[in-house]
Amino acid sequence: MSFGRSNNDETNSDINCDSPKGIMDFLTYKVEAVYTFRDRYFENHSFDDAIHKNDDVKKLLDETLEIFEENEAAAMQNNKARYYYLRGRLLNVVPMYCKEAENLLSKAIKLDRKLVEAWNELGECYWKNDELKKSINCFEGALKERKNKVSLRNLSMLSRQDVPNSKADYTAHVEKGLNYAKEAVQMDPHDGLSWSVLGNAHLSYFFGVQQNPKILRQCISAYSQAEKDIVARSTPDLHYNKGITLRYKEEFKEALESFNQASLYDSTWEPPKKREQQLVKYLNDVVELVTTKGKLKTKKLQSLLSSIEAKQLGPYLEDTKNIVTGENRKLVKVNVKDLIPGLNELKVLLGKVVCSVRNEDTVPFTFCLLDENGDCIVVTIFNLADGRGVIIGDSVAIPEPFVKIVDFTYKSVRYNFKLLRVESPLLLAVNGKLLQRNQAAGVQMSIFKKCD
């Protein structure tokens, strides 16, 4: 009986290789060693080695397969179902779909339908092959046998990918995915992968159901918990999705750093690089358009300035209800220079739109607003229906504006501008009239999951 080569003689010495059970224990250990090597790769390798990670994992996989070949007869005699499962799980360690892995895992389940781990691995296998319905059936099959965090978090992710067209059904799917993720975290609060999935579930809720800043804070909190776990912290999609969240929190520097971090963990993966490039371009455009006041010619600017009138405040000419206290108070008209960081209570800013800022995403809608003094500020609007933005020349009144000073340097370029964030477009008075409810809407976005 041969037990092959060992990468860790001390650990192997704890396994009783003379017993039939010892064969399965040994093979189980060898499979888990491959997964540990993959998941904790950057504990012993630099980011410069990232490009070699998949090849290094494949090399260890091939070596371990030789050990399986040497011990197949004895292992099959001991526990055929578990052997098929272990070999299928071993082959499933790489990102690509493997037909042999699917066949082995299917055989394992036919022999032992209570083998939860095999159900989960087969679900992963189908997922890699874009067979989402089969994948969902596998994870649900595992849950029927035993409640477990792996099935729960995978169903959370799949519930956001296999979605219906209607808004009501979509919302139900997103909420179901959020509940699955919460259950997974409750089962093991120390599992960073489950926390990462919970962060993604909150982010899907933000885009698909309600663009509430509280939800973005919940996302960041979940991702921060995930980063405490070395396995989760080493996955590029954690940093990628965190970067997306930070981008919509308008924490631009931290978002760029997260996209860059994702690229360090997998230099061959394009989405983080693309996101970083898009955000850099967006910020460069913002700075240029604010500085040049939308690149409008002097005559056009003067025409816009002279057309700013108090009547364009519309409903904000009269007493209005305070956002925070709910009291009816008259708002005081202010200009850009009067705005302070944070909430400007009982103030209203009036100005003219001089340009919109191109954004690869539909959220937020971004434009530059010129006040009567000729000062310019960037305005971002969330929860705005697609195609419902303002246009050059529109007058816009913004009550109790929330302002942020953006000032940071990234890769030797400084970004410095004043940003006004509007959570609900229904607060805006455009050309003297409040926007209507049909101009406010949520959007949908797919959260990315890599198969590592």
Radius of gyration (Cα) for the chain, nearest Å? 28
pLDDT of residue 447: 47
| CATH class for the domain made up of 9-283 | mainly alpha
pLDDT tens digits for range 333-387: 999 999 999 999 999 999 999 999 988 777 789 999 999 999 999 999 988 877 6
Angstrom distances, CA of residue 10 to CA of 6, 13, 14, 38, 68 = 9, 5, 7, 21, 20
Torsion sign across C-alpha atoms 289, 293, 294, 295: negative
| 294-439 CATH pick, 3.20.20.70, 1.10.357.140, 2.40.50.550, 3.30.1510.10 | 2.40.50.550
Does residue 84 register a pLDDT over 90?
yes
Angstrom distances, CA of residue 270 to CA of 40, 191, 262 = 22, 27, 10
What is the DSSP code (8-state) at residue 363?
Answer: S
Does residue 64 register a pLDDT over 80?
yes
Tell me the percentage of the chain whose pLDDT exceeds 70: 88
Torsion of CA 228, 230, 233, 234, to 10 degrees: 170
Report helix, strand or coil for 198. helix
Does residue 2 register a pLDDT over 70?
no
The pLDDT-based confidence of 6 (bands split at 50, 70, 90) is: very low
pLDDT of residue 22: 87
pLDDT of residue 435: 82
pLDDT tens digits for range 280-322: 999 999 999 999 999 999 999 999 999 999 999 999 988 666 5
Round to whole Å and give the CA distance between 223 and 194: 10
What is the DSSP code (8-state) at residue 163?
Answer: -
What is the DSSP code (8-state) at residue 119?
Answer: H
Round to whole Å and give the CA distance between 129 and 102: 10
Does residue 325 register a pLDDT over 60?
no
pLDDT of residue 14: 53
Q: Judge whether 332 and 349 are in contact, CB under 8 Å.
A: no
Q: Enter the tokens of residue 16.
A: 């009783």
| The residue type at 251 | E
Q: Are strands 413-422 and 376-381 parallel, antiparallel or unpaired?
A: parallel
Round to whole Å and give the CA distance between 178 and 204: 9
Report helix, strand or coil for 393. coil
Ranges 155-169, 236-250, 261-275, 313-327: which has the least confidence: 313-327
Residue 364: is the preceding peptide bond cis (ω within 30°)?
Answer: yes
pTM value?
0.86
Smallest CA-to-CA distance from 359 within 339, 389, 323, 404 is with 389
Round to whole Å and give the CA distance between 337 and 346: 16
Length of the chain: 452
Does residue 117 register a pLDDT over 70?
yes
Smallest CA-to-CA distance from 101 within 115, 79, 86, 116 is with 86
Does residue 80 register a pLDDT over 80?
yes
Q: What is the mean pLDDT of residues 136-150?
A: 96
The pLDDT-based confidence of 441 (bands split at 50, 70, 90) is: low
- For residue 442, the cross-strand partners are none
pLDDT of residue 389: 81
Q: What is the mean pLDDT of residues 417-437?
A: 90
Q: Enter the tokens of residue 49.
A: 């080695």
Does residue 173 register a pLDDT over 60?
yes
Tell me the percentage of the chain whose pLDDT exceeds 90: 76
The domain limits of the chain are 9-283, 294-439
